[in-house]
Amino acid sequence: MDCYITVDDYQSRALFYYFVEAYTDPSSKPLLLWLDGGPGCSSLGVGAFVEHGPFRPKGDVLIQNHFSWNNVANILYVESPAGVGFSFSQNATFYTTVNDTITAQDNLVFLERWFEKFPEYKNRDFFISGESYAGHYVPQLATLILRSKLNIFNLKAIAEESGKIDVCIADEVNSYLNREDVQKALHAHLLGGLSNWSFCSFVLKYDKKNLLIPTIDTLGSLVHSGIRVLVYSGDEDAVIPLIGSRRLVNKLAKSLGLNTTLPYSPWFYNHQVGGWVETYGEKKILSFATVRGGAHQAPYTAPQRSLTLITAFLQGTNP
């Protein structure tokens, strides 16, 4: 099966996806879309093959990730925008014009057409999560979904995490995904001026002005619309320290007039502290959580606790 969805017929622009159904009873599990940031880094390489997909490269083989998130959800990894990973545009000038608006629009078109390809997932409980610069992608896409008012979407909540790629892990995944037999098995192609798969795109020239645009108001609008928002961070993340993220969430809660429904408190995994969590508003509409031992990418460095947190997120409960 071709693992591409065309998002622009005129420019022959298509996004590559990697879809893994839940281990057990996928028809009863929600659908989780995962986006990586950068801007320009691969959800396939980072999210699927480093953090929380079902398998990880180890030398010439794949090993099972026993704490994969598809224990609790059907996961859709999308390499976005075009120019990232195996996603491409036959009109290569596109790579010099990409910004947040284009990325969000392409992601929306992708989902609309993906649901046509997999109609059994229409109206399934739907969640969007991502890390790093996907802190732009995730809420902006969620906003477009709400504005579209299309009845194929049953968006419940979004989650954002900070993250950074570990170089040693990246080398192993990079070697694996550039193998010809692996690309054939994935139904992946190097088109639109792409000469090889890379963790982060060398052809994409993203509009850097977008990096300076805060998305906190976008999160506020989603909360106001009834979409649950979780912001979480590894407590050893030196790239985006949790203190700054927690302050932003606290400031957002105050601006929305949300009461604290759970003060900053420990949550537990296997009778040990798994991290800390605080929630605001009715039905835990806004939350901030940490993952103990999470550094750079919490699902890789603290897989058990990260799975516990994402399971609670999908269920609408505290971990």
Catalytic residue among 132, 201, 233, 245: 132
Is 296 considered catalytic here?
yes
- 3-state secondary structure labels for all residues of 6-75: EEECCCCEEEEEEEECCCCCHHHCCEEEEECCCCCECHHHHHHHHHHCCEEEECCEEEECCCCHHHCCEE
Q: What are φ and ψ of residue 27, in 5° steps?
A: -70, -20
Is 237 considered catalytic here?
yes
Catalytic residue among 36, 237, 245, 306: 237
CA distances from residue 293 to 29, 133, 270 in whole angstroms, order as listed? 28, 22, 14
For residues 105 and 113, is the Cβ–Cβ distance under 8 A? no
Q: What radius of gyration, in Å, describes the C-alpha atoms of the chain?
A: 18
Report d(CA 200, CA 131) in Å as an integer. 14
Is 132 considered catalytic here?
yes
How many angstroms from the chain centroid is the CA of residue 317?
A: 20
Catalytic residue among 80, 100, 129, 296: 296
Tell me, what amino acid is at 229? Answer: V
For the chain, the 3-state helix, strand and coil shares in percent, each to the nearest 5, are: 40, 25, 35
For residues 107 and 16, is the Cβ–Cβ distance under 8 A? no
Q: What are φ and ψ of residue 122, in 5° steps?
A: -65, 135
Report d(CA 163, CA 297) in Å as an integer. 5
**117: Cβ contacts below 8 Å, ≥ 6 apart:** 5
For residues 92 and 190, is the Cβ–Cβ distance under 8 A? no
Q: What are the residue numbers of the active site?
A: 132, 237, 296
